[in-house]
Amino acid sequence: MSAPQRPSDAPSGPPQGLGPVVWRGGVNTWECDEMGHMNVRFYLAKAMEGLAGLAARLGMPHAFTPYAEATLIPLEHHIRFLKETHAGAALYMTGGVVALRAEGADLLQVLFDARTHAPAATVISRVAHARPRDAKAFAWPRRTEMAAADLSIALPAFAAPRSVDWQAPPPLARVAEGDLARLAPISLGHVTPQGVDVFGRMRAEEFIGRVSDGIGALLGDVRHVVAHAAAGQHARVGGAVLEYRLIYLDWPGIGEPVEVRSGLTAVADKVQHVGHWLLNPDTGTPLGFSEAVAVTFDLDTRKTIPISDAARQALNGRLIPGHRFGA
């Protein structure tokens, strides 16, 4: 994670070429977790609010209202977390169109530190232009195609997928083979009224939030293994996600059961790859899949703890192969 810029290094204003500002706000204390930084669910919650702002720029000001005739439904999200964001930080978000397809688009949103104008996170939203009630995609109107041309932006290197294959499909064959039983159940519950959007579908941030709520059950011991085998003393150890890709397969409604099953899928010099399935535990129906790239880090120095050869050897026996994109 990059260090904050000094005030003397700060640009004079928002960077050019990444679209208009679609959201402004900040980080509340209650949005930060036990690691001392803003929790992943709130990055995505702010991105979804910013998506409404971007939709308005595309000529869809009512896209997320109860009477919408067309909306934007996320099919996938790719997120890169570029720097830690703490309570009290002021933020803003820009948005633009990376690619427009017949019935959908790839949209880029960049979350910036309002003081330094340094990027804190990026979100690529692959969306469908769809009817709100049945989620059926249909063609864009001409006015949106014209607006999208004005909002066209190039994907900058700092937002491009790095350690996750953006084009690979989810490992659905593993579900068909009944392989989910090999994964650890880390979260279980039901969709609450607060957890759905205006159309009655589970909010996108609920998926990543439920993973976050249960991740300690999966990676708590992994972090201990990494810290114990590392050089030096690490009194307080935590974790952080550097990159995420999520695919949404279905959207449960209020009262429907949801479970997250997860597994450690790869270990490298500094990072761990973790696969997460969201499913209906009663039927086994997959609702979504995600892959996260995470690090173990010292909560006092705020630095990543490298994964030693001894730690990798100890963790190799815990790997669940095949639960990665393209596997």
- Ordered by where they begin, the domains of the chain are 16-160 (3.10.129.10), 164-327 (3.10.129.10)
Residue 233: the pLDDT is 79
Instruction: Report d(CA 97, CA 19) in Å as an integer.
Output: 8
Grouping H, G, I as helix, E, B as strand and the rest as coil, residue 46 is helix
Rg (CA), the chain: 20
* Residues 245 and 80 sit within 8 Å (Cβ to Cβ): no
Between the alpha carbon of residue 114 and those of residues 49, 73, 102, 152, 158, the distances in Å are 17, 28, 35, 23, 18
> Is pLDDT above 50 for 291?
yes
Length of the chain: 327
Overall average pLDDT of the 242-267 stretch: 96
pLDDT digits (tens, 9 = 90+) for 17-71: 999 999 999 999 999 998 889 999 999 999 999 999 999 999 999 999 999 999 9
User: How far, in Å, CA of 320 to CA of 272, rounded?
Assistant: 12
Judged against a pLDDT cut of 50, whether residue 5 lies above it is answered with: no
| Assigned token pair, 190 | 């039901």
Q: For residue 80, what pLDDT is reported? A: 97
Amino acid at residue number 312:
R
Residue from 44, 37, 21, 39 nearest 197 by CA: 44
Q: For residues 86 and 76, what is the distance between their CA atoms, to the nearest angstrom?
A: 26
The confidence band for 322, taking pLDDT boundaries of 50, 70 and 90, is: confident
Cα–chain center distance at 229: 30
The token duo for 156 is: 């900058």
32-64 b/e with 16+ CB inside 10 Å = b? beeeebbbbbbbbbbbbebbbbbbebbbbeebb
The residue behind tokens 């959007």 is: 197
46 Cβ partners below 8 Å, 6+ apart? 23, 25, 91, 93, 111
Give dist(CA 118, CA 203) in Å, integer: 28
Residue 91: is its pLDDT beyond 70?
A: yes
Which pTM was predicted?
Answer: 0.93
Compute the mean pLDDT over every residue in the chain, rounded to the nearest whole number: 92
